[in-house]
């Protein structure tokens, strides 16, 4: 048996699931009576999602639809970072939603500090936008995973490479 076991804490999302959720949202927007004439458009880019619609009511409804589709596809709402609402040409409203991926340095430091304070037998290491947690006992690592799942961080956390 290995002398140490480890896992990585990452913040990623399944791009295909996000694309499917946006496609489903577009279909629902086209069929909803209150949004039918709003000429709503959703543009999914590499790092953002742009919502363009006729008014603020329609924008809020579109956000609700997108969020419900993300939840159905097991994607966390923490990947969405809503920007300010902007006035577009023709009296329309536009909003850019940045897609969060990776753990920012300040959040990684906060997670590492919490792990060091609560669990003395494991060692967290920040490696770019991931956090590796190592320990000698698998039960200690399981306890760390449960504690991180229970805590509320501003990013969605996944646990990978458990070995």
Between CA 53 and CA 59, with CA 54 as vertex, the angle to 5 degrees is 50
User: Domain ends where: 68, 84, 99?
Assistant: 99
pLDDT number for residue 2: 53
More confident residue, 35 or 48: 48
What's the average model confidence in pLDDT over 118-141? 90
**Residue of higher predicted confidence among 47 and 37:** 47
- Residue 113: give its domain's CATH number: 3.30.70.860
Are 110 and 95 found together in one domain? no
- Please check whether residues 86 and 110 belong to one and the same domain: no
In a shared domain, residues 28 and 87: yes
Range of the domain at 136: 5-12+103-160
Half-sphere exposure of 125 (CA within 13 A, CB side): 7
- For residue 25, give every residue at least 6 positions away whose Cβ sits within 8 Å of its Cβ, in sequence order, or none: 42, 62, 65, 66, 69
Residues 85, 111 within the same domain: no
Q: What confidence category does residue 109 fall into, taking pLDDT thresholds of 50, 70 and 90? A: very high
Of 18, 138, 148, nearest to 157 by C-alpha is: 148
Measured CA distances, 9 to 3, 43, 59, 122, 145 (Å): 20, 30, 34, 14, 9
Cross-strand partners of 50? 43, 96
19 plus 69 within the same structural domain: yes
What do you get for the CA distance between the two ends of the chain, in Å? Answer: 11
Residues across the chain:
163
| Stated pTM of the model | 0.85
């Amino acid at each position: 048996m290995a002398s140490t076991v480890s896992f990585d804490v990452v913040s990623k999302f399944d791009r295909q699931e996000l694309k499917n959720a946006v496609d489903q949202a577009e279909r629902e927007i086209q069929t909803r009576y209150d949004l039918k004439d709003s000429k709503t458009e959703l543009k999914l880019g590499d790092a953002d999602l742009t919502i363009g619609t006729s008014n603020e009511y329609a924008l809020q409804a579109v956000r609700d639809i997108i969020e419900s589709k993300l939840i159905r596809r097991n994607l966390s709402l923490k990947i969405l970072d809503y920007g300010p609402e902007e006035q577009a040409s023709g009296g329309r409203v536009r909003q850019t939603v940045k897609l969060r991926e990776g753990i920012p340095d300040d959040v990684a430091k906060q997670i590492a500090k919490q792990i060091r304070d609560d669990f003395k037998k494991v060692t967290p290491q920040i490696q770019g936008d991931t956090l590796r947690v190592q320990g000698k006992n698998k039960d200690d690592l399981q306890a760390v995973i449960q504690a991180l799942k229970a805590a509320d961080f501003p990013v969605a956390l996944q646990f990978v490479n458990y070995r």
